[in-house]
Structure 1
Amino acid sequence: MKINPIIAVLAFICGLGGAIYAYAWSGLSADLATNGSITLIASILGLLGIYLFNKDYKIAIAQYIVCGVGVLIGTSVMGLAGFLFYIIAAIIAYTEKDKSENSSQFDDENYYMNKTQIKQRYPNFPRTSNNTIYWAVVIISAVLIILSGVIGDASYNNNLQEKANGIHITNVSSDLKVSYGTYTGGVQGTLTSEKDLESVQVKGVWFAADGTQITETYDSGILNDVKANQKYQLNIPYYEDSSKKPAKVEIRVSESFSSNPIFTQTINFN
């Protein structure tokens, strides 16, 4: 009985779980969908190691390792179990090399007989085959895993750019004033988007005249999800000592709790 195929199946199941987890949470961070795709593809391709083992155990080991690394890269901690199982499958495949249908059991160096005697006892000696095509499977698998990441990242960035181009902040005004030694008021405006946005946060990053950051404040309204072509009123407050006069505020719009804004707009003060 071969153990490495069983371990490979366990690795696939764990990788599949990591991919499902990434897809499930992609609403909080869109790039998780790309990570899930990398993990899913790597997990599926890893199963080819079961077939390759009967062609050449060394190729199966390479396939397990390549796909295990792909699973780990895809979902990091959530892909750790899949990665470890594929590495274990590779190790066991080496220990089970004699069970491979194309193992080196017919190499004459393993026997104290001449080739004529070996052929009489082992009619299939010497068993040789061209494994180049099977090594191509490993190379193609690695390329597919890399491409899934590159294409997914490009698609993600393109989607972000489309969303950024569709965001508009208009009717901008400010009611900043000093009252009893403290700034009150803030910046107001109207936010619209040509695309639906999820878990939106809007904050203002306030800067002094010398370019140093004074503080950050968030829009007083809770936008959450923004529907396409609907108007949302913004109010970004500023409460600081009168000595901290702002020269500008950078309005940053982010989605899915990402720390990187998908849209920015700078408002300068006189």
Structure 2
Amino acid sequence: MEVSDFKRYNLNYLAIIIGIIFIFRSIIISLSFNQITNSYLLKIIAIIVASLIAVLGIILFNKDYKITLALYIIAIIGLILGHYTGIYPFVFFALALILAYYEKDKSDNTNLIDSDSHFFGDEPKEIKKVPEKNLKLIPIVSLILIILLSLSITVVSDMEVNDRANAINITDLNAVTTSEYGYPQVNITGKLTSSETFDSVSVKTYWYDELGTQISETYDSGIKSEIKKNQTYQLDSHYYGQKDAKMPIKAEIVVKDLKHDQIVYSKNVTY
């Protein structure tokens, strides 16, 4: 293929297509590993919409390259507001933006007059077609759509945070203290239920003496990472002190959602 033949192709199209391939590949993979929530689905929708806006930029390139430049920028903004974390689509979308600008002469919006036409001066003058008014509305509508999706993601995410914060409940708490051969021991049991599913949690107990000083912290041995919705789990927290050490008189049970780095439950137990 000669260089002149290669120049006939719009390379910004190719960059967008490659970026979209990376996007859908990552979506398919993430669906296999992530818990599907409303906010997660909205993020996927925002990312897909951003991809479609980029495709629209390809379609309109021959109408007006400036519209395409605007749509490529909005597509990149859509990926950001959709919380997309992969790097390659951003690289290829940015590359497409640059290529579209340098390939603007291939757009019908910017043409040179025919070589057989008469003109004044030494060079043919550039004739620019004025884009249709409706075309100018497309980037504006696209940006509004992306912003509305972003606001929806924020609102739904906040609602899910509140739901997670009220999902955990621990009942039937019972604390038993013993001191054998001078070694203080405490065992706290209970039942943990949840109205939501958590992919990764930690259940930690903080132990305090009579002055309110934390003297130890332990992980619950009965709950392992995942908590399923509407299931009951046995809480089992143990404290083993050194010989002749102070007996803790209070414990704080803390359940943390590790995936979202959020404390979803906290309860003080005095015994």
Task: Pick from 248, 261, 264 the counterpart of residue 263 of structure 2.
Answer: 261
Q: State the AA in 2 paired with 1:231.
A: T
Matched, 1:233 2:244: no
Q: Residues 257 and 97 (structure 1 numbering): CA distance in 2 closer, same or farther, change over 3 Å?
A: closer
State the TM-score, normalizing by the size of structure 2: 0.76
The count of aligned residue pairs is: 257
2:74 to 66, 69, 83: 66
1:85 is aligned to 2:92: yes
Q: Deviations over 1:55-102 (max 9, x none)?
A: 32122122212312432554554x210111011101110111001111
Please say if residues 2 and 96 of structure 1, whose CA atoms lie closer than 8 Å, have aligned partners that are also in contact.
yes
Q: What runs of 5+ residues in structure 2 fail to find an aligned partner?
A: 1-8
Q: Secondary structure at the match of 1:176?
A: strand
Shift of 1:218: 1.8
Instruction: Find out whether 1:250 has 2:252 as its counterpart.
Output: yes
Paired amino acid for 1:40: I
Whichever residue aligns with residue 10 of structure 1, its letter is I
Structure 1 letter corresponding to 2:119:
M
Worse overlay, 35-44 or 168-177: 35-44
SS in 1 for 2:130: coil
**1:176 maps to what in 2?**
177
**Superposition RMSD in Å:** 3.6
How far apart in 2 are the matches of 1:35 and 1:211? 44
User: What's the secondary structure of 1:129's corresponding residue?
Assistant: coil
**Residues 21-41 of structure 1, C-alpha deviation per residue, up to 9 Å, x if partnerless?**
333332399965554443333
> Do the aligned partners of residues 236 and 257 (structure 1) sit closer, same or farther apart at CA in structure 2, a change above 3 Å counting?
farther
Aligned to 1:201: 202
- SS of 2:172's equivalent in the other structure is strand
The aligned counterpart of 2:17 is 9
Flag the 1:178–1:112 CA change in 2: closer, same or farther, 3 A: farther
- Asked if the contact 2:223/2:233 (under 8 Å) is kept, the reply is no
Equivalent residue, structure 2, for 1:97: 104
Counterpart residue type for residue 152 of structure 1: I
From 40, 43, 46, give the equivalent of 2:54: 46
* Shift, 1:260, TM fit: 1.4
Change (3 A) 1:257 1:43: same
User: Does structure 1 retain, via aligned residues, the 8 Å contact 2:50–2:146?
Assistant: yes
1:216 corresponds to: 217
Is the 2:47–2:84 Cα contact (8 Å) retained in structure 1?
A: no
Counterpart Cα distance in 2 of 1:194 and 1:76: 28
Quick check: 28-37 or 177-186, which moved more? Answer: 28-37
Aligned to 1:24: 32
Which secondary structure does the structure 1 equivalent of 2:24 belong to?
helix
**Structure 2 CA distance for aligned equivalents of residues 58 and 210 of structure 1:** 69
Q: Match of 1:8, as an amino acid?
A: I
SS, match of residue 49 in structure 2: helix
Secondary structure, counterpart of 2:267 in structure 1: strand
Distance 2:38 2:239 in 1: 31
Confirm whether residue 192 of structure 1 aligns to residue 161 of structure 2: no
Contact 2:178 2:184 in 1 (8 A): yes
Amino acid at match of 2:130: T
- Which deviates more from structure 2 when the two are superposed, residues 62-71 or residues 20-29? 20-29
Q: Is the 8 A contact 2:105 2:111 kept in 1?
A: yes
Give the match for residue 147 of structure 1: 148
SS across alignment from 2:191: strand
